[in-house]
A and B are shown apart, each in its own frame.
Chain A
Amino acid sequence: MMDLQRLFIRFALALLLLTVIAGVLASFAFLFPANFNTILPFHELRPVHASAALFWIITGAACCVSYFSGRQSKAFMVLWMLTIVVIFVNYGFQNYGGREYWEFPAYLNLPLLAAWLFFMAVFMKRLPKGAPVYYWMWTTGILFFLITFLEQNLWHIPWFRQSFLREVTIQWKANGSMVGAWNQMINGLSVYLLVAISGNAGLARQKKPWFLFFLGLFNLMFNWGHHVYNVPNSNWMRGVAYGVSMTEWVIIILIIRDFRHTLTAARKFRHLVVYRFISAAELWVAANLLLALMMSIPAINRYTHGTHITVAHAMGTTIGINTMLLLAAFGYILDVDNLADRTRKWLQISIRVNTLSLGIFWVSLIIAGLVKGILTVDHPENSFFEVMAAVRPYLEAFTAAGLGVMIALGVICVIYLKHSQRKQTV
């Protein structure tokens, strides 16, 4: 493994560590603002957490895709890492750009864009006939990340800011589709790993992964409208988003249909730490997909929009699905299944602690969101502060569970970082 690739892996893992530490600190700052406002207020911690999470996922996905495809760009890795470091230095000086998830000064989008173009210059090649589905997923994810990244920056053109409704619609269109883009990259990694673990190359050529690839692509393109159901923009957009999002029920049906087969595979590969991560992700795919489908139904969205249920969905997918699959991919690269039994045991325990903590974390946020939604929508006479007081016990449970997530993911990160020094190649 080349040293720069090894550094890139460590950099991504350091971002995950920063994400969980800043996340826990931010949740304490949310609960006890008086204690934090003079040192590290919530509005300074949240950008660190959100950006670290965003860059952990994108960096992790790009890192693994580069590694498995053998298409590595040194210019991309160096420029990407340097820009992210500069972003966090800016946060240290309270220099913000104030866009959701992209909270750094806007000019820093330029080196990020240049870095991504370097990556594309190396990665983008004509797909040969019969290429496995994961190559299609990676290519699509990388291309659509670029498109949505550019779309996210359209606000610099004055015309887009002449209407607040237009600007907010496009901002969330880009955000929604970008999640679909990195999901394509990460789902491709998941298929690649299943092929590698089982030794069955045919898995990547079956009808089901192809069907799921195109269904995912269709939803990436047109299923973003639930973010802006309550923005008074044109009605036809909500209709399209509602209709398209309902196609995801097919995935739920497939999960139920294949449940027995999934269990058999889980038993067969349970000795593999890498597979344990994939199994954990499968559980969260079902749970978060069901939640997303519920949130996409307008009558339910009216209660869930702007509540902690949105956070449950965002964190459930980023921690439960994206992070689990990325840790599986990193584990495969670092060959963690050949570590000492004691270390593997620590990894397995950490996966269990993370799943359990994330379960409490997720349910607490859903209950908090339901309480907020009902009190806000059905009882508008309540003040904001009365609503937040009613929600507080569930946020305390969420924060306590967040500590469990931080410890579990922290242990995994430290083990990975420690073993990333070994001079092995996969």
Chain B
Amino acid sequence: MKFKLWVTLTILFFIYSFYVYIYSSSEKTPVQPTASVLSGWQVWQNKNCHTCHQLYGLGGYMGPDLTNIASDPTRGSDAYMKAFMKNGTDKMPDLHLTEEEMNSLVSFLRWVDKSGKSRVGKESVHWTGTYIF
């Protein structure tokens, strides 16, 4: 009985996992990442940006969430973002990024921005769950 229950749950876990892999993204036609986006993603990882910044509220707390920085009317320009990357701030050290790395990081942040909004509206939350459309 115990073994059967364990096996049943494990089978359900694998079915659910594959379902999540295939259907988890709500984007009907996700914007395909370019080579520059993928290179920027790698820079994001190699420089450990997530230790201080968040994407969709996941990551560190030292700096702001950058999910939608690229569509911010004042801070979303290439020049503004690159100025921060190049010089750092009183909290952010200079990470010595090359021009190419900064360009690809900007491409990555623009791609992330297109995937959705980080802020969850009040109207999206109901006692029965969260419904983000």
Q: Which residues of A contact B (CB under 8 A)?
A: 30, 33-34, 37-38, 41-44, 46-47, 96-100, 103, 136, 140, 151, 154, 160-166, 168-170, 172-173, 210, 214, 217-218, 221-222, 227-235, 237-240, 242, 298-299, 301-302, 305-306, 308, 311, 377, 380, 384
* C-alpha spacing A347/B93, complex, angstroms: 41
Task: Identify the stretch in B48-56, B79-87, B97-105 within 8 Å (CB) of chain A at 4 or more residues.
Answer: B48-56
**Interface residue from A154, A165, A311 paired with B30 (Cβ < 8 Å):** A165
A221-B13, A302-B120 known; A162-B30 Cβ under 8 A: yes
**Interface residue from B17, B125, B132 paired with A299 (Cβ < 8 Å):** B125
**Interface residue from A46, A173, A218, A308 paired with B51 (Cβ < 8 Å):** A46
- Chain B, interface size category, equals 35 or more
Report chain A residues within 8 Å CB of B61.
Answer: 30, 308, 311
Nearest chain A CB to B37's CB is how many angstroms away?
9
Complex: chain B residue closest to A38, CB-CB? B93
> Do residues A306 and B65 form an inter-chain contact, with CB atoms below 8 A?
yes
Q: Which residues of B contact A (CB under 8 A)?
A: 2, 5-6, 9, 12-13, 16-17, 20-21, 23-27, 30, 32-33, 38, 41, 44-52, 54-65, 90-93, 111-112, 115-120, 122, 125-133
* C-alpha spacing A46/B47, complex, angstroms: 13
Complex: chain B residue closest to A232, CB-CB? B116
A136-B2, A164-B112 known; A233-B26 Cβ under 8 A: yes
A41-B93, A98-B46, A233-B25 known; A239-B116 Cβ under 8 A: no
Nearest chain A CB to B69's CB is how many angstroms away?
11
Lowest 7 CB-CB distances: which A-B pairs, in order?
A98-B45, A306-B57, A232-B116, A384-B64, A298-B130, A163-B25, A163-B30
Report chain A residues within 8 Å CB of B128.
Answer: 239, 242
**Interface residue from A165, A218, A305 paired with B24 (Cβ < 8 Å):** A165
> Do residues A43 and B5 form an inter-chain contact, with CB atoms below 8 A?
no
A98-B45, A165-B25, A172-B58 known; A222-B52 Cβ under 8 A: no
